[in-house]
Amino acid sequence: MNSTRTEHLVNVVDVEATCWDGSPPPGAVSEIIEIGLTVVDLAAGERRARHRILVRPARSTVSAFCTELTGLTQPEVARGLGFAEACRLLAAEHHAGTRPWISWGDYDRHQFTRQCRSARTRYPFGRHHTNAKAVFTDAHGLRKRPGMAQALEIAGLPLEGRHHRGEDDAWNIAALVLHLAERRAWPRAADTN
C-alpha cells in the first residue's frame, strides 16, 4: 500500500474481560480475554479486515456470568495467547503503535493501561485514540452517551453478530465510525486525543 492509502487506516478495538456478577473472587482481577479489531479505511469508507485475539487470563478465570454475557468459556480462553504476547502481536501485525485507534468509550483504553502496568508489559498503542462514543454523542446532539447497541439503533444500522463479543463489537463500532464519517462528523487524525 502507498502512504496515502495507509494514513487513512484506523484500528477499531473492543475488548472483553473477565467479569463477575458482583465482586471478583479474592485475589482475582478483571483481565482482557478477547481483543476484537476491525481495520477501517476512512478514505474508502469501508471495513477492510476483522481480527480476533483470544487472551489467556493469568490472575482470574472466566465466570459463569462472564460466559453468559460474552459466550467465552475458560477452556476457550485458556488456549489463547499470554497478555504480553497479544500486545506484541497488536504492535507487529496490526500496526497498533502507529495507526490511530478507536474504541467505544474509554474502558478499553483504561483496561489496557491498567493491565500493561500490572503485567509490566509495553503498552501496544500509539497516542492517537478516539472515543467513538463521545463523537457519536456530539454528532447526534444527545445528552447522554449511548451504549453501542443503542447507537446502532439511533443510526439505523443492524447489530451484526453477538453483542459483548469483542470481534463482533469492533465490527459494529466500525460501522458507527463509518456512519459518522459519512455525516462528516468524524474528527481528523490531528484532532484526536
pTM: predicted TM-score of the whole model, two decimal places: 0.93
Residue (of 26, 21, 91) closest to 53 by Cα position: 91
Determine the Cα–Cα distance for residues 98 and 47; give it in Å rounded to an integer.
18
Share of the chain above pLDDT 70, in %: 94
Domains of the chain are 3-188 (3.30.420.10)
Is residue 179 predicted with pLDDT exceeding 90?
yes
Residue 32, SS3?
strand
State the average pLDDT over residues 17-29: 96
Kindly list the distances between the CA atom of residue 184 and the CA atoms of 45, 59, 87, 93, 178, in Å, as whole numbers in the listed order. Answer: 12, 43, 32, 30, 10
State the average pLDDT over residues 17-26: 96
What the block records as the C-alpha cell of 136 is 457519536
Is residue 4 predicted with pLDDT exceeding 50?
no
Beta pairing class for 46-54 and 32-41: antiparallel
Identify the pLDDT of residue 188: 76
Tell me if 179 sits within 8 A of 158, measured CB to CB: no
Determine the Cα–Cα distance for residues 173 and 13; give it in Å rounded to an integer.
8
